[in-house]
Structure 1
Amino acid sequence: MSEPVEIWEICFEEAGAVDWQILDPREIAAADAFIHADDRYRYGVMHTALRLRLSELLDTAAEAVPILVGAHGRPFVAGRAAEIDFNISHSRRTGLIAISRAGTVGVDVEDRDAAADYAEMVDTIFEQHEAACLHRLEKSVRNDLFLRGWTRKEAVAKAVGTGFLLDPKLFRVPLDDRGSWSVSVHSPVTRQLALIDLSSDARAAAVAGAGLQNRPRVRKFRFERTSARAGSLR
Structure 2
Amino acid sequence: MTGHPVQVWWARLGDARAGLQALLDPVERARYESTVDPAGRGRFLVGCALSRLVLGELLGLPPADVPLRRVCPRCGGPHGKVHLALPPDGSSGTRPAYDFSVTHSGALVGVAVCRGGEVGLDVEESHGDMDVDSAAGVALSTSELAALYARPAVERQPAFLRTWTRKEAALKALGVGLAVPLRELEVSAPERPPAVLAWPDRLTTRPHMSMTDLVVDGAHPAAVAVTVTVAEGEAGEVKDGGVRVALHDGSELLAGYAR
Does the alignment pair 1:11 with 2:1? no
Give the one of 170, 176, 181 matched to 2:190: 176
SS in 1 for 2:111: strand
Q: CA RMSD in A?
A: 2.4
Aligned to 2:84: 77
> Does the Cα contact within 8 Å between 2:12 and 2:109 map onto a contact in 1?
yes
Q: Output the CA distance in 1 between the equivalents of 2:167 and 2:221.
A: 12
Aligned to 1:24: 25
Give the one of 227, 231, 234 matched to 2:257: 227
Shift of 1:7: 0.6
Q: Deviations over 1:203-222 (max 9, x none)?
A: 11001012332330222112
Q: Output the CA distance in 2 between the equivalents of 1:183 and 1:96.
A: 26
Taking a change above 3 Å as real, the CA distance of residues 138 and 182 of structure 1, as seen in their structure-2 partners, is closer
Matches within 5 A, 1:1-234: 3-14=4-15, 16-72=17-73, 73-78=80-85, 79=87, 80=92, 83-177=97-191, 179-181=193-195, 185=199, 187-200=203-216, 201-210=218-227, 211-212=235-236, 213=238, 214-221=243-250, 222-223=252-253, 227=257
Amino acid in the other structure paired with 1:75: V
SS in 2 for 1:157: helix
Taking a change above 3 Å as real, the CA distance of residues 172 and 44 of structure 1, as seen in their structure-2 partners, is same
Shift of 1:140: 2.5
> Does the Cα contact within 8 Å between 2:96 and 2:115 map onto a contact in 1?
no
> Does the Cα contact within 8 Å between 1:194 and 1:209 map onto a contact in 2?
yes
Deviates more, 1:128-137 or 1:106-115: 128-137
Q: Deviations over 1:184-229 (max 9, x none)?
A: 635221112101101243211001012332330222112357528x
> Does the Cα contact within 8 Å between 1:183 and 1:194 map onto a contact in 2?
no
Shift of 1:63: 1.2
Give the TM-score normalised by the residue count of structure 1.
Answer: 0.87
Give the TM-score normalised by the residue count of structure 2.
Answer: 0.79
Q: Output the CA distance in 1 between the equivalents of 2:29 and 2:253.
A: 19
Deviates more, 1:80-89 or 1:164-173: 80-89
SS in 2 for 1:150: helix
Taking a change above 3 Å as real, the CA distance of residues 224 and 107 of structure 1, as seen in their structure-2 partners, is closer
Q: Output the CA distance in 2 between the equivalents of 1:207 and 1:183.
A: 16
